[in-house]
Structure 1
Amino acid sequence: MNTQDQDIVANAANSPDFSIFSNALRAAGLQAAFKAEGPFTVFAPTDAAFEKLPPGAVNLLLKDKARLASIINFHATRGVMHAVDIKTHDLPSLQGETLALQVSGSDLDIGYTVNGAKGSKKEIESSNGILHGIDTVMMPAG
């Protein structure tokens, strides 16, 4: 099935890179929100990003619904932003704090970071937005 026919929640669940993020969406009670029309751009931590957290941290987060919802919403913004269209600028997250996008590299090898987390050029287009993989779980200040 084409990923563009499925929403962000389904695409995260069907991707081998986002199983922990998918579980976090469910644990935070945010599946309905990210199945909504959107559009959303989600900078989702990969499983490898979650595995960089201290031992036991993921299990603790999965039990703290409010904190987990805040963290997930900090990884998303309204609108659709493809990796090739990312420019250095700030934009508001759904959580309310700022996402600082930074582009680096040459025309042939442009990379980007979101609040210092390295973004992947691999993206999953969805019916209600786009899902980007990042290498770090970003923690909001609030």
Structure 2
Amino acid sequence: MKKVSLAIVIAAGAILASCNPSEQQVTTTEVQTETTEAQATAGQSAVQDDESQKNVVQVAASSPDHTTLATAVKTAELVDVLTNAGPFTVFAPTNAAFEKLPAGTVEGLLEPEKRSDLRNILQYHVYVGILNADSFEDGQSLGQVNGGRVTMGVKDGKVTVNGANILASIPTSNGVIHVIDQVLLPQ
């Protein structure tokens, strides 16, 4: 029995020795390189998952009332950031809110040379953490992602952020979206 086992081990060793190890290394290296390149070009937003609850970006992008916001988030290159685990509280202006801005403002902010201004404005709409509408207190001040602060208002059951009305609240997989009727502008 020992002779048979020894013969199998020798045969297996001979088969392995006949393989070209440099070809195996190239294959492994190629796979590692392709994986690294794929990860470098696509972030969290590239993950395909049609079964889980949608994240803040997916919810906003699927809303016909938030096409301007979705375009701005993409232009500002914040899609991957906002698809991460968070959690985030996002104050999401509607298309009508963007239309209240002076003519040409949105188009100007979507220009490549204004990307940092656009990011600043969008980050002013994001708080790190989950704050549901019933957790806000009148006069409460929140530190936003851009370093600025917003002030919450609560009166007669209505909640506002810097005077903008919260029209609806939508839970997401990585936080909550509060739909608002004005664009918040940092001071």
Query: Structure 1 length normalisation: TM-score?
Result: 0.90
Match of 2:132 in 1: 82
Match of 1:30 in 2: 78
Which of residues 95, 105, 109 in structure 2 aligns to 1:57? 105
- What are the equivalent positions in structure 2 for 1:1-142 lying under 5 Å apart? 5-63=53-111, 64-88=114-138, 89-105=140-156, 110-120=157-167, 122-141=168-187
Report which of the two has the higher share of strand.
1
Gaps of 5+ in 2: 1-49
Shift of 1:59: 0.4
Which has the greater radius of gyration? 2
Q: Distance in 2 between matches of 1:43 and 1:59?
A: 21
Matched residues, percent identical? 38
- Amino acid in the other structure paired with 1:138: L
Paired residues, number: 135
Report which of the two has the higher share of helix.
2
Q: Distance in 1 between matches of 2:150 and 2:104?
A: 26
Runs (4+) of structure 1 exceeding 4 A deviation are none
Q: Distance in 1 between matches of 2:169 and 2:97?
A: 16
Question: Quick one: higher RCO (CA 8 Å, sep 6+), 1 or 2?
Answer: 1
RMSD of aligned residue pairs (Cα, Å):
1.6
Gaps of 5+ in 1: none
